Amino acid sequence: MARDSGNSRRRPTMGEVARAAGVSPMSVSYTYSQPERVSSETAEKVRAAARQLGYPGPHPAARSLRRGRVGSLGVVLGERLSYAFDDPQAARFLAGVSDVCAAEGVGLTLVPVTGAATDAQRVAQAAVDGFVVWTTSDDDPILDAVTGTGLPAIIHAGPERPGLPAIGVDDRAAAAAIGRVAFAAARRPLVLGFPLDRGRTRQLLTGDRVGEIRYHVTRRRWEGFREAWAGPAADLRLAVCPVNHITEGESFAAELFQGAGPPDAIAAMSDELALGALRAAATAGLRVPADVAVTGWDDTDAAAPAGLTTVAQALRDQGADCARAALGQAPRTSYRDAWRVVTRVTTRP
């Protein structure tokens, strides 16, 4: 049987290159990995022999093993992969991560999470030097998978656990502050919020009927909004949105405006949801803030043009410090108190 000489062509070895160049195998290795350790004459001999033999250089995986690192940082979103590109908050955060990756000369690997049983295995097998985890639920199995790798890891905004410290603002304190602005002179306040758990059920709850909240950010912000409301717990409602998107905020708010006891104040857990509520208010012919006050969270690029009162935080800076921590460096600052309420025209004096 004739041998296939096409795609099965054997890769030349480093030793063969060394013999063809008349140098030692170590000189070949240094030419590719530490060129400052060989003379320009030797390097040219090696590269000429490599071209003649069709040798592309050491295999990247082999170089990584020798260095003890892969050269890539893993980011686990805990959301559909398109979330990284669709959500303004996630995009800002990832921009900060990528800034550090570029400065450190490492790649950025997005580790997809689908909610399937294979998620933990995918995380455990990811070829990365460390992990940055976007905030998720307390019971998400990827948290154990990340800490089980033994690699440096950091989670944005929580939940915090041994081996997985968190970087982020004090969501409860910030929610209490923005809540007091949102609920000023309100009688029928509403929180337009994130999912309570990984089931992501869309629901409307009164404050005295909100059960266990497994998403750390949702829980802490709800606690702050509840603290800000001075009236009976049952009078503060929570509209749970399954996704953080402007159309979800618009559709849920529209339903509430048409129902009995429409809200006269909406504190949203994101600018996206708040902007949706503003759209719904305009469609319903409501005056903002006279008929309904609205607040958001994150001070995205669309917040100022809309006149939206919101919470500002430096998500890009937080992303950068998360990346540094996952690469074994010390974060540059603490973000717990690095937030502020930006008051604009969508809230009452």
Which pLDDT belongs to residue 9? 57
Asked if residue 126 belongs to a domain, the reply is yes
Asked if residue 3 belongs to a domain, the reply is no
CATH number of the domain enclosing 106: 3.40.50.2300
Asked if residue 326 belongs to a domain, the reply is no
Asked if residue 4 belongs to a domain, the reply is no
- 82 and 59 in a common domain: no
Q: Indicate yes or no: pTM above 0.85.
A: no
Boundary (domain end) residue, out of 167, 202, 222? 167
Boundary (domain end) residue, out of 67, 89, 110? 67
Q: Which domain holds residue 76?
A: 72-167
- 89 and 210 in a common domain: no
Boundary (domain end) residue, out of 67, 82, 106? 67
Number of folded domains that form the chain: 3
- 260 and 212 in a common domain: yes
Which pLDDT belongs to residue 37? 87
Nearest to 47 by CA among 28, 19, 62, 25: 28
Asked if residue 7 belongs to a domain, the reply is no
Contact status, residue 190 vs residue 266, Cβ threshold 8 Å: yes
- 284 and 208 in a common domain: yes
Q: pLDDT tens per residue, the chain (349 residues)?
A: 343 444 445 678 888 899 999 999 888 888 877 788 889 999 899 989 988 988 877 655 454 444 457 889 999 987 777 888 888 999 999 999 999 999 999 999 998 787 787 888 888 888 899 999 999 999 999 999 999 888 999 999 999 888 899 999 999 999 999 999 999 999 999 999 999 999 999 999 999 999 999 999 999 999 999 999 999 999 999 999 999 999 999 999 999 999 999 999 999 999 999 999 999 999 999 999 999 999 999 999 999 999 999 999 999 999 999 999 999 888 888 899 999 999 999 999 9
- 163 and 99 in a common domain: yes
Q: What are phi and psi of 62, to 5 degrees?
A: -65, -40
What are the pLDDT digits (tens) for 274-321? 999 999 999 999 999 999 999 999 999 999 999 999 999 999 999 999
Structure tokens at 273: 């949801």
Asked if residue 2 belongs to a domain, the reply is no
- 302 and 222 in a common domain: yes
Asked if residue 196 belongs to a domain, the reply is yes
Which pLDDT belongs to residue 70? 81
- 187 and 293 in a common domain: yes
Burial of 348 (0-12, 13-18, 19+ CB in 10 A): middle
- 293 and 207 in a common domain: yes
Burial of 19 (0-12, 13-18, 19+ CB in 10 A): middle
CATH number of the domain enclosing 30: 1.10.260
- 158 and 181 in a common domain: no
SS (H, E, C) the chain: CCCCCCCCCCCCCHHHHHHHHCCCHHHHHHHHHCHHHCCHHHHHHHHHHHHHHCCCCCCHHHHHHHHCCCCEEEEECCCCCCHHHHCHHHHHHHHHHHHHHHHHCCEEEEECCCCCCCHHHHHHCCCCCCEEECCCECCCHHHHHHHHCCCCEEEECCCCECCECEECCCHHHHHHHHHHHHCCCCCCEEEEECCCCCCCCCEEEEHHHCCCCCEHHHHHHHHHHHHHCCCCHHHCEEEECCCCCHHHHHHHHHHHHHCCCCCCEEEECCHHHHHHHHHHHHHCCCCCCCCCEEECCECCCCCCCCCCEEEEECHHHHHHHHHHHHCCCCCCCCCCCCEEEECCCCCCC
- 209 and 284 in a common domain: yes
- 302 and 230 in a common domain: yes
Asked if residue 324 belongs to a domain, the reply is no
Which pLDDT belongs to residue 122? 86
Beta strands 310-313; 153-156: pairing state: unpaired
Which pLDDT belongs to residue 162? 87
- 100 and 234 in a common domain: no
Structure tokens at 41: 């004459």
What are the pLDDT digits (tens) for 131-154? 999 999 999 999 999 998 889 999
